[in-house]
Amino acid sequence: MAEVGRPSLYTEELADHILERIVQGESLRAMCSEDGMPAISSVFKWLAEKPGFSDKYAMAKEEQAEAFADEIVAISDEECTMVRASKHPTVAKEGEEDLEVVFDSTAVARNRLRVDARKWVASKLKPKKYGERVQQELSGPDGGPIQHEANITLEPGDAYRRLLDAGLG
């Protein structure tokens, strides 16, 4: 009797399908929870055992940051408002209704969270492009230049001997 379950055998076709969906911004966890998809543990095993797949996966994850950047713009452009008939009568043009636009603070807060989560993940996936810019500046006391000091102490005989050895004496 054949055992029914998730596919666990690696194929290039399945690997490419998974990588394409990752590039499009899907999570491996969500993808692997679907019927007909391998368990996430199988994919992690492939990452450890298949260097070619591992390299492609790393590139796909890096490119996933681009999908998240696109999602950030789309989320920011979403309508987070509710439109209601105006409570205050005004004169509307013929064929137009009086409308009042009210911002839905819950939707705005949720979208802010969605954007922040994607920004954070993108900064980890592609830090050179989406990571925080960290700049360090070193300075001396009171913001002045750094002072360098070197003290070398030689006995008089050692100094003369070193000059002779260097051909300067």
- Distance CA(101)–CA(113), nearest Å, equals 22
Helix, strand or coil, per DSSP, at residue 101: strand
| pTM (two decimals) | 0.58
CB atoms within 10 A of CB 60: 20
**pLDDT, tens digit, for every residue of 149-161?**
888 776 777 777 7
For the residues 25-35, what does the mean pLDDT come to? Answer: 93
The H-assigned helical ranges of the chain are 12-23, 28-32, 40-49, 51-77, 105-125, 127-130, 156-165
Per-residue pLDDT tens digits for 88-134: 555 556 666 666 666 778 888 888 999 999 999 999 888 888 888 87
